[in-house]
Amino acid sequence: MLADGSTFDGPYDSTTHDNTFRVGPGVAPEADLFALRVFGCGGSASTEVIIQALDFAVEHDLDVVNMSLGSPYGRPDDPLSVASDNTVKAGVVVVASAGNSGEANYITGAPAAATRALSVAAMDSIATIDVADFTVNGETITLQNSNGADVAEPITGPVFVLQDDPETVEDESLGCTPEDFEGAQEGDIVVTFRGVCPRIDRAIIGQELNLAAVVFINDADGSPPVEGPIPGVDIPFLGATPEQEEFLVAADGETATITDAGTVPNPTFRTLASFTSNGPRNGDSGAKPEIAGPGVSINSALVGSGTEGTRLSGTSMSAPHVAGVAALHREAHPNWSVVHTKAALVNTAEPDQIVDYSVSRAGAGLVDPQDAVRTPVVAVTGPASASLSFGFAETERRITKTQQITLRNHSDTAHTYITRADMDADAGGGASVRVHAPRVRVPAKGSRVVRVRFHFDASEAPTGFTPATGNVVFSPIRPVFGGSQLSDLRVPYVAVPRAISDIETRPGRVGADEAEANFRTHNRSAVPGTADVYAWGLEDRREGLATNDVRAVGVQAFPDDDIGVFAFNTYSDVSNPAVNEWDVLLDTDDDGEHEFAVIGFDIGPVLGVLEGFLGSFTVNLETGEIVNAFFAGGGLNTSTVLLPFQLSDVGLAPDSDSDFSYITGVFSQEGLAFGDEIVDGVGHFDAFSQPVETGAFFELGPRERIRWRAGINREQLADTPVRGFMIVNAENHTGRRQASLIRVNR
């Protein structure tokens, strides 16, 4: 749509962008589009309806499907992932959004998690931004003019900063409703904060209230996304960075003047979007996402507006860009398999075009339409992928894995490539990747297989989550073919090795009436680790659940610090424990009712969206109020989850009845197929008169042995029975090895 509102009919060539557009042409402007509605009036889509749409694509011989939808923590066996794989097997390229859940590992979504689908991350392609100066008492900061409002004439008004009311559940400082603006007057410049509601809602409300301007403080690095013109909004909608919050909050009640400051280079140009979901794939540590496209402040057609456009951000915007490139490739190479179309896009992506590039967030890099169409050779892995997934593996020694890449030449000319393996700068230590052949010649219309070896030495690696990511690169010896420049071919790889300790604790002889227990703890590994002492309260049988099959639960307390911690040990590992809800219900007054809960849950729903980080929330069950929150412990690819809480928050104090009972359960957030866990029995503990002494913490070096003692309060043990000691070894192999359970006779 041209700037005057008339339809642009072409031509689509080098002169296209000499025009001024209200809504510009897409990546494949002459493709036939089929819009299949899968979202209902409430904004949600069911799995069944989406599968019906995929079936339609197959039945009607469509070439490419774009799915700007998904859910976090995607798995390859998710129903939509399976349906997407089947769609590709039927001859349709499937492109899907990686998700908008941010930097947490394993949160990238499904159906993009499907092995055969192409998972797309988002980057910022806006080179410059409009800005305005914001001056208070002679001091000036420069804010983003997010909606490009006319500020040629200075705008002056009182500053009114929205405040959160601690007595309500809602956060009024976000400015999500007109009621949040209570107290603001016409002509005010209102300062709001980013949160759960759409960003532009604040601007729309500000216009309706006849405000002079609305300022919006971002909650991530940099300024918020550029919005472009907001229908019905003429007042400035200004974006601020978190660093500018202090200045703006201090300006509350002062008079500010807004003036035009022109344009400046966008500081986040060519960086990955703060929201784009991080990999690897949940469950198997597979290589997802695989490619990136423009997805920040993208101007596209606004449905129902006639001739207007709208700016939106998300991987829902980046996926259509890549789907358009896939359509161009299908047009140029209709006889290539859809697997080779996907490979052409991934292989020719440009990591150098992304400033903060990493494989785990951007795959092979930014999509390159010309190189994708021009390349005569593609590199594929397995039956239908273009990346190497070495998966998750644990060792106290070494790991070696070998996989294959097949190069397929579609041209009548042989091509020779020099090979190498690049590793991301932030990759963990102890890992190396080597291509067996230093060069490879791919014959005309033929193929060649290249082996790639991944090696990991635990003695040279840190403990914890240390993924090794990078690209296997094939550089053409003769980079010109058919008059065009050939690009390097890249195959992204992901490996998630884990260096583990081998710590075990064994008791000495403990008599039935002794007040102290002796222990021997030994680390048999060259990898250091820890031993953390809890009172063992509950155990449960193995039930075959995927990520929430609890083996044991314990508790420890630090009375002087007013802190307690619950520990879970599971039979199997979980990629990211935030996929589950970990519940402990406490009865603190012996009335048979649970007054409080300590709940491990993704911190995101409290903020509005899933974030992929596990929090520990203390909840008053009588009022429903969250009374405190901490980050939970345990890490990634783990069988250990630690939930800290404040003793006084649940009514425990030394001068009162400080014993309590508790029950636990773990509930999967990944669907009914994963099942829920209700742990057998009722646990007991007294935080200030502990039946067994807890809280000791030992760091064990390679091959180290230690002896230690812990007290047993026999009288309290009779009143507050525990099973014994639970020594958590979070750096050990996942499963039962992460907790030594030692019974104490009562």
Q: What is the pLDDT of residue 707?
A: 96
Extended beta strands in 166-304, E state: 189-193, 213-217, 237-240, 255-265, 291-294, 298-301
- CA 533 to mean position of chain CA atoms: 32
Residue among 17, 24, 18 nearest 2 (CA) = 24
Q: Distance (Å, rounded) from C-alpha 31 to C-alpha 27? A: 9
- What is the pLDDT, as a whole number, of residue 168? 83
Residue 679 CA to residue 569 CA, distance in Å, equals 11
Is residue 646 within 8 A of residue 621, CB to CB? The reply is no
**pLDDT, tens only, 708-719:** 999 999 999 999
CA distances from 351 to 21, 38, 285, 287 (A): 29, 34, 21, 15
Which pLDDT score is estimated for 673?
Answer: 61
Res 425: pLDDT? 86
474, 346 contact by CB (below 8 A): no
Task: Give me the chain's average pLDDT, please.
Answer: 94
What local confidence, expressed as pLDDT, does residue 47 receive?
94
Q: What pLDDT does 594 receive? A: 97
The residue among 191 and 169 whose pLDDT is bigger is 191
Q: State the average pLDDT over residues 549-557.
A: 98
3-state DSSP of 279-296: CCCCCCCCCCCCEEEECC
680-690 residue pLDDT tens: 999 999 999 99
pLDDT in tens, 158-172: 999 999 998 887 889
Residue burial 411-448, b: 16+ Cβ < 10 Å; e: rest: eeeebebebebbbbeebbebbebebeeeebebeeeeeb
- How far is 346 from 344, CA to CA, in rounded Å? 6
Q: Which residue has the tokens 């894995």?
A: 401
Q: For residues 657 and 714, what is the distance between their CA atoms, to the nearest angstrom?
A: 18
pLDDT for 238 equals: 98
CB 468 within 8 A of CB 460: no
516-523 and 503-507 strand pairing = antiparallel
Instruction: Note the Cα 223 to chain centre separation in Å.
Output: 20
**DSSP assigned state of 71:** B
Token code pair at residue 53:
């749409």
Residue 596 pLDDT exceeds 70:
yes
Residue 316, SS3 per DSSP? helix
What residues does 388 pair with on adjacent strands?
A: 493
Under DSSP, the state recorded for 575 is S
**Model confidence over 454-471: pLDDT tens digits?**
999 999 998 888 899 999
List, as one string, the DSSP characters of 576-603.
-GGGEEEEEEEESSSSSS--EEEEEEES
Q: CA nearest 158: which of 77, 251, 233, 39?
A: 251
Q: Percent of the chain beyond pLDDT 70?
A: 99
- Confirm if 37 and 303 have CB atoms less than 8 A apart: no
**Taking Cα atoms as reference points, which of 669, 28, 721, 703 lies closest to residue 345?**
28
pLDDT of residue 509: 66
Q: Are 128 and 266 in contact (CB under 8 A)?
A: yes
* Tens-place pLDDT, residues 142-153: 999 999 999 999
Q: What pLDDT sits at residue 464?
A: 85
The Cα–Cα gap between 174 and 194 comes to 6
pLDDT in tens, 204-242: 999 999 999 999 999 888 889 898 888 899 999 999 999
Token pair listed for 740 = 């030594």
Distance CA(278)–CA(286), nearest Å, equals 12
Instruction: Say which residues have a Cβ less than 8 Å from residue 170's Cβ, sequence separation at least 6.
Output: 176, 180
Range 627-638 average pLDDT: 95
Q: Look up residue 646 and give its two tokens.
A: 């404040």
Task: Give yes or no for a contact between 219 and 197, defined as CB atoms under 8 angstroms apart.
Answer: no
Q: What pLDDT digit, counting tens, does each position of 513-549 carry?
A: 778 999 999 999 999 999 999 999 999 999 999 899 9
Instruction: Give the model's pLDDT for residue 427.
Output: 82
Tell me how crowded residue 49 is: count the other CB atoms within 10 A of its CB: 14
Contacts by 337-340, CB closer than 8 A, 24 or more apart: 338/88, 338/91, 338/92, 338/93, 339/88, 339/116, 339/380, 339/383, 339/384, 340/378, 340/380, 340/408, 340/410
Residues 647-665 pLDDT 10s = 999 999 998 889 999 999 9
| pTM for the full predicted model | 0.93
- Helical residues (DSSP H) of 375-492, grouped into ranges: none
Q: What are 305-343's pLDDT values in tens digits?
A: 888 888 899 999 999 999 999 999 999 999 999 999 999
Q: Given a cut of 60, is residue 607 above it in pLDDT? A: no
What three-state secondary structure class fits 13?
coil
> Rg of the chain's alpha carbons, rounded to an integer?
29
Assigned token pair, 71 = 């859910």
